[in-house]
Amino acid sequence: MAEVSLKGEQRVFMTGNEVCAWAAVAAKADIMYGYPITPQNEIMHYWTRLAPKHGKRFLQTEDEISAGFTTLGGVMSGRKAFTATAGPGNVLMQESAGMAEMMRIPIVYIIQQRGGPSTATVIYAQQETTLTTFGGNGEGHRIVYSTANHQELFDYTIKAFDAAWTYRFPTFVLGDGYQAKMREPLTLYDPDERGLELVKPQAMLGDTEKPERESKHLRNTYNTEDELYEVVMKNQHDWDKMAKEVVEWDAKGCEDADIILLTHGIVSRAALTAYNQLRAQGKKVGYFRPITVRPFPGEQLKDACKGAKKLFVAESAYGQLMKLVQHEIFGSTIEIVPMLRPGVGITTEEIIEEYNKL
């Protein structure tokens, strides 16, 4: 692995998985728990190389269920703990995510999406969008950052720890196999040196530094419907309040656009290039990208769509982003034009080709 450090800003050229490991170090994560699955393996590989040098720990568990729950244990102990997975592993980790939602445990998951359903491919997809935003038997009380490039993988992994520990909702970094395996230039930095104050973790249980503490009893089971209702509604209220503060998006040229290109994650890079090329040709095209796919920038999208005639939705899944969009802009009469390619990458040329058919 490259000899780099977080001292001073450093330009590096590395894979997305390596970036995630460095970002976790930069975010002052204490411990990672993980189970091998492609395409996220190198996050563990780099973390296990970096961890001893930075006084950090790693545990390889027996499966992703265990990886999720050991991570919850680490977080409850007051440590910044995280895990990483993909595909079927993401399915198994939703059980722990549900417990995190109910008990407000600030766990961080890094997801590098692969093809689905089932084992599918180890390469790439955006088919874990529904699972990552709404997995589990709950209400989707979580934060999901959908990254598009390596700088974002670094920035938003650091941000994910802060968001989780600030708002106490499970937080996901939603990448994909292309981002995981591809090499790209980016700038590594120490958040402290940039004046970014990282949120400090606190123990929920077993704070052995405070032997006189009152004992705490945490649970996720309730006796009556009313009792549960109170808890879920309080979490919903907190989530709604949080949503306004964490929601992020990017929009370009939507004010006078006839057609708006709507994408998330790495597909938005193809869309952005298409947008720039089409604008250069004088086409009235817009670009909109949710960075948080949960909470979704619904109001911002509605605003962006006001004058447009068509919303061109392109994704590497069969309508998972589109479903979120349809829900968020309910009531709008804008025509949705889908470009749905489950498990397949989408290029600038393909977007322009589809655009030209409109």
Partner 1 sequence: MQELTENNVLQPAIPSSWDEATKPHKFCPGCGHGIILKCLGEAIDELGIKDKMVFGCDIGCSLLAWDFFDVDSVQTHHGRTTPVITGMKRANTDIIGVAYMGDGGGYAIGSQHLFNAAVRGEKITIILCNNCNYGMTGGQMAPTTLPGMKTETTPYGRDVEQTGHPTKGPEMVAAVAPEGAYIARGTISNPRQLKGFIKKALQNQMEGNGISFVECLSSCPTNWRTNAKQTWEFVEKDMAEYFKVGELRTSQAKEG
DSSP β-ladder status, 57-60 and 81-85? unpaired
What angle is formed at CA 311 by the lines to CA 306 and CA 317, rounded to 5 degrees? 140
225 binds partner 1 (CB under 8 A): no
Q: How far is the CB of 210 from partner 1 (least distance, A)?
A: 8
Structure tokens belonging to residue 139: 């209400």
218 binds partner 1 (CB under 8 A): yes
Non-local (6+) Cβ contacts of 18 within 8 A are 1, 2, 42, 46
Asked if 43 contacts 84 with a C-beta cutoff of 8 angstroms, the reply is yes
Question: Looking only at residues 8 through 47 of this chain, which bind partner 1 when binding is defined by CB under 8 A?
Answer: 30-31, 33
Binding mask 92-131 for partner 1 (x = CB under 8 A): ---xx--x--------------------------------
Classify the C-alpha dihedral 121-122-123-124 as positive or negative.
positive
66 binds partner 1 (CB under 8 A): yes
Q: Which stretch binds partner 1 (CB under 8 A): 176-184, 191-199, 203-211, 263-271?
A: 203-211
Closest CA to 40 of 128, 101, 104, 100: 128
Q: How far is the CB of 218 from partner 1 (least distance, A)?
A: 5
DSSP state of 54: G
228 binds partner 1 (CB under 8 A): no
Q: Which stretch binds partner 1 (CB under 8 A): 143-151, 219-227, 229-237, 316-324?
A: 219-227
The correct pick among 4, 198, 203, 344 for binding partner 1 (CB under 8 A) is 203
The C-alpha atoms of residue 34 and residue 138 are separated, in whole angstroms, by 24
Asked if 249 contacts 300 with a C-beta cutoff of 8 angstroms, the reply is yes
76 binds partner 1 (CB under 8 A): yes
62 binds partner 1 (CB under 8 A): yes
Nearer to partner 1, 75 or 257 (CB): 75
52 binds partner 1 (CB under 8 A): no
Asked if 70 contacts 59 with a C-beta cutoff of 8 angstroms, the reply is yes
Structure tokens belonging to residue 173: 């970094």
Q: Which stretch binds partner 1 (CB under 8 A): 40-48, 61-69, 255-263, 307-315?
A: 61-69
Q: How far is the CB of 92 from partner 1 (least distance, A)?
A: 11
165 binds partner 1 (CB under 8 A): no
65 binds partner 1 (CB under 8 A): yes
Non-local (6+) Cβ contacts of 311 within 8 A are 259, 260, 262, 305, 325, 329, 334, 335, 336, 337
Q: Which stretch binds partner 1 (CB under 8 A): 10-18, 67-75, 137-145, 286-294?
A: 67-75
Structure tokens belonging to residue 128: 């874990």
Per DSSP, the three-state class of 193 is: coil
Q: Which stretch binds partner 1 (CB under 8 A): 76-84, 108-116, 233-241, 329-337?
A: 76-84
The correct pick among 45, 79, 284, 341 for binding partner 1 (CB under 8 A) is 79
Q: How far is the CB of 124 from partner 1 (least distance, A)?
A: 30
What angle is formed at CA 173 by the lines to CA 168 and CA 175, rounded to 5 degrees? 170
Q: Which residues bind partner 1 (CB under 8 A)?
A: 30-31, 33, 57, 59, 61-63, 65-66, 68-74, 76-79, 81, 95-96, 99, 203, 205-208, 211-213, 215-221
